[in-house]
Structure 1
Amino acid sequence: MHVRAVAVTTTALLGVALTAPLSHARADEAGDDGPTVVAHRGASGYAPENTLAAVDRAAELGIRWVENDVQRTRDGELVVLHDESLARTTDVEEVFPDRSPWKVKDFTAAEIARLDAGSWFGSEYAGARVPTLEQYVHRVEHNHQKLLLELKSPGLYPGIEQQTLKVLANEGWLDRRHVAGRLVVQSFDADSIRTVHDLKPAVKTGFLGTPAVSELPAYAEFADQINPSYGSLSMSYVSAVHAFTGPHGRPLEVLTWTVNDADTARRVAGYDVDGIITNKPDVVRDAVD
């Protein structure tokens, strides 16, 4: 029997973010009884993270779910990049040596489009670019994949929730087919995810973190999933999450991150998680299949 919280206190919601169900996606890559495999920042163990090449590599491996990170440029363009700084995954220090600390929010979309986002990973990826959100969802759509979209550091980008939803709507990602089983929006920021839920209740949402069991009734009001780090997981915690029903009338789900080896994959699969987020989706799929 699933329980619903009657009230959500402000205290319980502060600093929280949620995750939404993958709607029967568990059979996509790991068999009818196995967890869904999600390619973290694309197949980022094999191609530069958050690039179109990483999306394509996931597709080549037969992985249907990909995860990405969304931030905003100085002139208001949404781009797909994990770090707040461009320094780790692009050649920004060479192209713009006097612009330290090279924050995404301090560069225009045109400036970011000049950067090489692939050479750091390997010479075969030289010239890969930081994609815009439009470019990224086009590629995911082209590959017939599904998207777990993370709003990264939304506190830096006021209004990014509404802007992201507008881009998704413009690209056809908020129709019934997509929201029913091809899209989840997640964040570490609970207020941000709650905003997404309020703006577009049909969109599945996810919290990245491990809230206390006593707080789960509050999350169940606006989250479809709870997505913790694998190091914080136990079988009892997964069972506790599954005991609640989310806003779309389904039991809360658990996707765990970031699992990159077979032994850990088998261990968390034994906890009955609904999904595993990984840089090496083929390794995890083969381990839990």
Structure 2
Amino acid sequence: MHARAVAATTTALLGALLLSPTSEVRAAGTHGRPSVVAHRAGAAYAPENTLPALDKAASLGFSWMENDVQRTKDGELVVIHDDSLRRTTDVERVFPGRAPWKVKDFTAAEIARLDAGSWFSPAYAGTRVPTLAQYMRRVERDHEKLLLEVKNPELYPGIERQTLKVLSDQGWLDHRHLADRLIVQSFSAGSVRTVHDLDPGITTALLGSPAVTDLPRCAGFADLINPSYGTLSAGYVSAVHAVRGPHGRPLKVFTWTIDDAARARTAAGYGVDGIITDKPDVVRTALTAA
């Protein structure tokens, strides 16, 4: 409803915003200091998407964690970024005859045998790939907020409903969590729409940079538009902010992946609402000093 109401006037407005010569010099404080999100729970400092990474980011004082969810052969949801186990586990050694080592081709019990820490550092030897349920319990224990990405939904039919079932079982779909502790995102617009349709109370985000003319349509099911830093401009951020989402609030922008001070300050100057980073301490220091 909101998207249809603003569609007629938004396109012209947004085009003007993108072309405005002054749009690139917005004050960093226009929308307040951006939230800092630990990408894969702070991938620069501990094995990504693992419980030790969560604990490390929490110990550094960060509130927002980002993770990735995929599904095993026998239907267990696990937290891992790649659709293959090769890069972040010892799967080639443990199961040498199982190339190409896709997550969807291994059972949860098989994945639980893998070392997901030694590739990063010997100090993390024996770290396991967590299930989503295990991960959610640790997020809750550490009093964190979660930006959860539904990864490769085309490989896992029904993963949206299953993910929400785990979140519900872990107590994360109550008002207290939905108010300001959970965002579910995906590169797939269809997946984001499915999550919104299943539970309209969930804050949702579409990864990528949809065309300005498509923003009103996206606003029917997404509360945030999360582009890569390489596609970012102040005009685009302003265009996104000019559209109201499914909950009647202006759309927000979380950008990724920024790991240095200069880009963090530039993104903040563009007016982004959040910065997703492997090095949250670097970004926090840059924003504090700006």
* TM-score relative to the length of structure 2: 0.90
Q: Can you list the C-alpha shifts for 1:151-186, whole angstroms capped at 9, x where unaligned?
A: 000000000000000000000000000011100000
Question: Partners of 1:249 and 1:216 in 2: how far apart?
Answer: 14
Which runs of structure 2 are paired with 1:140-155 in the superposition (5 Å)? 140-155=139-154
Which runs of structure 2 are paired with 1:128-207 in the superposition (5 Å)? 128-207=127-206
Which runs of structure 2 are paired with 1:218-237 in the superposition (5 Å)? 218-237=217-236
Q: Can you list the C-alpha shifts for 1:83-106, whole angstroms capped at 9, x where unaligned?
A: 000000000000000000000000
- Tell me how many residue pairs correspond in the alignment: 265
Q: Do the aligned partners of 1:186 and 1:205 also contact (CA within 8 Å) in 2?
A: yes
Describe the SS at the equivalent of 1:117. coil
Aligned-residue Cα RMSD (Å) equals 1.4
**Structure 1 regions of 5+ residues with no counterpart?**
9-29
Question: Partners of 1:89 and 1:145 in 2: how far apart?
Answer: 24
User: CA offset at residue 7 of structure 1?
Assistant: 9.8
Which runs of structure 2 are paired with 1:4-15 in the superposition (5 Å)? 4-6=3-5
Question: Partners of 2:287 and 2:6 in 1: how far apart?
Answer: 38
Describe the SS at the equivalent of 1:226. strand
- One-letter code of the match for 2:243? F
Rate the CA distance shift 1:157–1:7 in 2: closer, same or farther, 3 A.
farther
* TM-score relative to the length of structure 1: 0.90
1:66 is matched with 65
Question: Partners of 1:273 and 1:284 in 2: how far apart?
Answer: 13
- One-letter code of the match for 1:230? Y
Q: Can you list the C-alpha shifts for 1:219-267, whole angstroms capped at 9, x where unaligned?
A: 1111100000001010011000000111111100000000000000001
Question: Partners of 1:77 and 1:171 in 2: how far apart?
Answer: 15
| Greater Rg by CA | 2
Question: Partners of 1:130 and 1:220 in 2: how far apart?
Answer: 34
**Structure 2 regions of 5+ residues with no counterpart?**
8-28
Question: Partners of 2:62 and 2:90 in 1: how far apart?
Answer: 29
Q: Do the aligned partners of 1:7 and 1:218 also contact (CA within 8 Å) in 2?
A: no
- One-letter code of the match for 1:281? P
Share of identical aligned residues, percent? 68
Is structure 2 residue 109 aligned with structure 1 residue 110?
A: yes
Moved over 2 A (4+): 3-8
Which moved further from structure 2: 237-246 or 32-41? 32-41
User: CA offset at residue 6 of structure 1?
Assistant: 4.6
Q: Do the aligned partners of 1:71 and 1:153 also contact (CA within 8 Å) in 2?
A: yes
